[in-house]
């Protein structure tokens, strides 16, 4: 046997020998270890995959396949992460003499409820007053509850839109945002110092774990109703909603009922089921997930489909596109958030700062500027948008809107994560407004682009499954960074940004990359990240962002001319990365 497999088997045996390991995990793992020790190559590879390193605590928390092992989602890892979060929170949050408050929630995934209860018990044993969701609840509502209850930290057990085999653990700080530096690195260090199978927490004392107050659900619903624009020109649209077997069903139909708007439900996907029987990949960014609601839409005569992912922080829209003979199509996240921002500005009006990410389409920024709003830029991920919201609040500035290309937006400053639930009501109203004007959603985007300019965007997910794929992507990034690009897809490169170095380049001029380039008095350098972005003379751009740990790399493309130009950009990006 190789040295790594021998080492993994030693770790697996120590794991199995722990007195605190759950019996079901021991039962599942033991036969695999025995087979590996007997020379079974497949079993040995499985043991290596589960034990060559612990499941890492990333910038958002944990995510992995549910099974026994160090690199799997299970109760021992829930305990490790929660013990570490409790410790780091106590180091960062001032003590008042009263128990620190924590909010714990979970989605509809398999084992999410038992994982959440385990986390709540760990926090209660550490002296926290814990508010635990009494049923699967949407991530945005839980984030709302964190801020309303003044929580010192929060935990949501969810793996968003991953397949059914996965689960995850999102950790939140005292401001209700996902943990970032230095919390994330401190939590990971604290986890490393803990036993791989920590003791099972004792039963909590009376009232140490309570249900999240029902009054907060009422407050959240009221917030959603207050966000409506009540346009003068309006005709209710026939909206079909799907929660993809997830948590959105807890709030979206009730929001529509209170708003007095009709809503049809995809019955098969309204059933909360963590095995996702009708959508093996319950991702609103993938049209394949919409087979059941598309069939319902045609049968029921719906005009648009709105979807939330299982934890309901993202929103997708599918509708007929008259430019393509009325074919039902999935609207790009960039287009949906730009249209939503324009709708908000055109109705009651918006003031303040729009926050978006460096890989999101310039469509959003252009809409903001056309309405006199400043744009604040940040790294990819809503955790960074939440950080920008904190910065605006600290300066006494008004937050207007936040969005990213991956089907996420935040309409209110009451939360620090994206919200697909309240967005579902507003977008449904938006569709009704454009219906009264004789426009479907895609035609409304076309009309908006006729005013502000054309934007075609595409996300290209690249994988190199060959051995050393992640290394090759890293080497490609190094090569591109060192040589730069003077031309791309037949156009000269006008400027480029290296977010790892924090430097922007235009000709011979090098400047820091700032989050608010249009407001230098308030601008700050953007956080560092391994991202390269090249802007072309036409206004097109190509941004490259590797995973860092997996053989995956995302390329974000924008053309200001044609889809054919996007095709050429994609082909050249693949060639540049050695995948042509």
Tell me, yes or no, whether 391 and 525 share the same domain. Answer: no
What is the Cα–Cα distance from 520 to 514, expressed in whole angstroms?
8
- When divided into structural domains, the chain yields a total of 4
Tell me, yes or no, whether 71 and 161 share the same domain. Answer: yes
User: What burial letters (b/e) apply to 271-286, b meaning 16+ CB within 10 Å?
Assistant: ebbbebebbeebbbbe
DSSP-assigned letters across all residues of 426-456: HHHHHHHHHHHTT--HHHHHHHHHHHH---E
* pLDDT in 10s for each residue of the chain, 580 residues: 899 999 999 999 999 999 999 999 999 999 999 999 999 999 999 999 999 888 877 656 899 999 999 999 999 999 999 999 999 999 999 988 899 999 999 999 999 999 999 999 999 999 999 999 999 999 999 999 999 999 999 999 999 888 999 999 999 999 999 999 999 999 999 999 999 999 999 888 889 999 999 999 999 999 999 999 999 999 999 999 999 999 999 999 999 999 999 999 999 999 999 999 999 999 999 999 999 999 999 999 999 999 999 999 999 999 999 999 999 999 999 999 999 999 999 999 999 999 999 999 999 999 999 999 999 999 999 999 999 999 999 999 999 999 999 999 999 999 999 999 999 999 999 999 999 999 999 999 999 999 999 999 999 998 877 766 778 888 888 888 887 789 999 999 999 999 999 999 999 999 999 999 999 999 999 999 999 999 999 999 999 998 756 678 999 999 999 999 999 999 999 888 877 6
Tell me, yes or no, whether 322 and 442 share the same domain. Answer: yes
Catalytic residues: 160
User: How far is CA 92 from its chain centroid?
Assistant: 25
Residue 267 CB-density burial (10 A; 0-12 exposed, 13-18 middle, 19+ buried): exposed
DSSP-assigned letters across all residues of 59-100: SSEEEEEBSSSTTSBSHHHHHHHHHHHHHHHHHHSPP-SSPP
Q: Which of 418, 435, 452 is the last residue of a domain?
A: 452
Tell me, yes or no, whether 266 and 388 share the same domain. Answer: yes
Strands 264-265, 239-242: parallel, antiparallel or unpaired by DSSP?
parallel
Strands 129-132, 101-106: parallel, antiparallel or unpaired by DSSP?
parallel
Contacts of 487 (CB under 8 A, 6+ apart): 493
**Domain harbouring 261, CATH code:** 3.40.120.10
**Domain harbouring 568, CATH code:** 3.30.310.50
Tell me, yes or no, whether 353 and 390 share the same domain. Answer: yes
Give the CA diameter of the chain: 74
Tell me, yes or no, whether 3 and 94 share the same domain. Answer: no
What is the Cα–Cα distance from 156 to 408, expressed in whole angstroms?
17
Tell me, yes or no, whether 328 and 375 share the same domain. Answer: yes
Q: Residue 356: enclosing H or E segment and its boundaries?
A: strand 353-357
Kindly compute the dihedral angle of the four CA atoms of residues 46, 48, 52, 55, in this order, to the nearest 10 degrees.
0
Tell me, yes or no, whether 377 and 240 share the same domain. Answer: yes
Tell me, yes or no, whether 442 and 462 share the same domain. Answer: no
Q: Which of 196, 212, 228 is the last residue of a domain?
A: 212
Tell me, yes or no, whether 191 and 317 share the same domain. Answer: no
Decide: 33 and 47 in contact? Cβ < 8 Å: yes
Give the residue numbers spanning the domain of 474. 456-576
Look at the pTM and tell me if it is higher than 0.75: yes
Q: And the tokens for 135?
A: 């049923």
Tell me, yes or no, whether 431 and 499 share the same domain. Answer: no
Q: Which of 452, 474, 498 is the last residue of a domain?
A: 452
- Reference 153, options 143, 139, 140; nearest CA is 143
Tell me, yes or no, whether 125 and 203 share the same domain. Answer: yes
End-to-end C-alpha distance for the chain, whole angstroms? 37
Three-state DSSP state, 416: coil
DSSP-assigned letters across all residues of 11-58: HHHHHHH-TTS-HHHHHHHHHHHHHHHTT-HHHHHHHHHHHSSPPP--
What is the Cα–Cα distance from 7 to 388, expressed in whole angstroms?
44
Q: How many residues does the chain have?
A: 580
Quote the DSSP letter at residue 247: G
């Amino acid at each position: 046997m190789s040295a790594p497999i021998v080492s993994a088997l030693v770790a697996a045996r120590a794991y199995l020998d722990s007195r605190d390991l759950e019996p079901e995990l021991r039962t599942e793992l033991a036969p695999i270890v025995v087979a590996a020790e007997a020379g079974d190559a497949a079993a040995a590879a499985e043991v290596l995959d589960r034990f060559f390193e612990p499941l890492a605590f990333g910038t958002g928390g944990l995510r992995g396949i549910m099974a026994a092992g160090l690199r799997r989602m299970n109760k021992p890892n829930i305990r490790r992460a929660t013990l570490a979060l409790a410790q780091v929170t106590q180091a960062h949050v001032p003590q008042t003499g009263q128990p620190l408050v924590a909010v714990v929630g979970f989605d509809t995934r398999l084992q999410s409820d038992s994982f959440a209860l385990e986390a709540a018990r760990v926090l209660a044993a550490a002296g926290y007053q814990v508010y635990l969701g009494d049923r699967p609840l949407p991530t945005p509502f839980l984030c709302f509850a964190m801020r309303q209850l003044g929580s010192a930290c929060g935990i949501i057990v969810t793996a968003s839109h991953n397949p059914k085999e996965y689960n995850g653990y999102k950790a939140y700080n005292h401001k209700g945002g996902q943990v970032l530096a230095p919390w994330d690195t401190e939590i990971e260090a604290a986890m490393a110092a803990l036993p791989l199978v920590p003791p099972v927490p004792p039963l909590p004392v009376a009232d140490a774990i309570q249900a999240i107050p029902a009054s907060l659900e009422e407050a959240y619903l009221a917030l959603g109703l207050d966000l409506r624009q009540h346009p003068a020109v309006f005709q209710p649209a026939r909206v079909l909603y799907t929660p993809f077997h997830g948590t959105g069903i807890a709030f979206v139909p009730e929001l529509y009922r209170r708003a007095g708007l009709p809503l049809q439900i995809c019955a098969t996907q309204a059933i909360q089921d963590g095995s996702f029987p009708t959508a093996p990949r319950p991702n609103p960014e993938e049209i394949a997930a919409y087979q059941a609601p598309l069939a319902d839409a045609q049968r029921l005569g719906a005009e648009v489909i709105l979807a939330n992912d299982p934890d309901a922080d993202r929103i997708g829209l599918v509708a007929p596109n008259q430019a393509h003979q009325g074919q039902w199509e999935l609207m790009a996240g960039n287009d949906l958030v730009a249209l939503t921002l324009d709708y908000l500005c055109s109705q009651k009006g918006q003031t303040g700062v729009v926050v978006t990410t460096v890989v999101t389409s310039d469509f959003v920024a252009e809409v903001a500027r056309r309405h006199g709003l400043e744009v604040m830029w940040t790294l990819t991920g809503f955790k960074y948008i939440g950080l920008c919201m904190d910065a605006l609040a600290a300066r006494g500035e008004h937050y207007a809107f936040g969005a990213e290309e991956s089907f996420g937006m935040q309409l209110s400053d009451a939360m620090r994560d994206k919200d697909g639930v309240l967005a579902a009501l507003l977008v449904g109203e938006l569709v009704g407004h454009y219906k009264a004007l004789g426009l479907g959603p895609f035609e409304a985007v076309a009309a908006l682009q006729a005013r502000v300019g054309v934007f075609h965007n595409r996300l290209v997910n690249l994988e190199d499954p060959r051995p050393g794929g992640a290394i090759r992507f890293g080497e490609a990034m190094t090569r591109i960074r060192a040589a730069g690009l003077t031309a791309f897809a037949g156009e000269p490169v006008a400027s480029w940004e290296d977010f790892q170095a924090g430097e922007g380049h235009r000709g011979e001029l090098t400047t820091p990359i700032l989050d608010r380039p249009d407001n230098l008095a308030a601008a700050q350098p953007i956080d560092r990240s391994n991202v390269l972005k090249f802007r072309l003379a036409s206004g097109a751009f190509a941004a490259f962002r590797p995973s860092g740990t997996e053989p995956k790399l995302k390329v974000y493309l924008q053309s200001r001319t044609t889809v054919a130009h996007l095709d050429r950009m994609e082909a050249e990006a693949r060639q540049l990365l050695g995948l042509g």
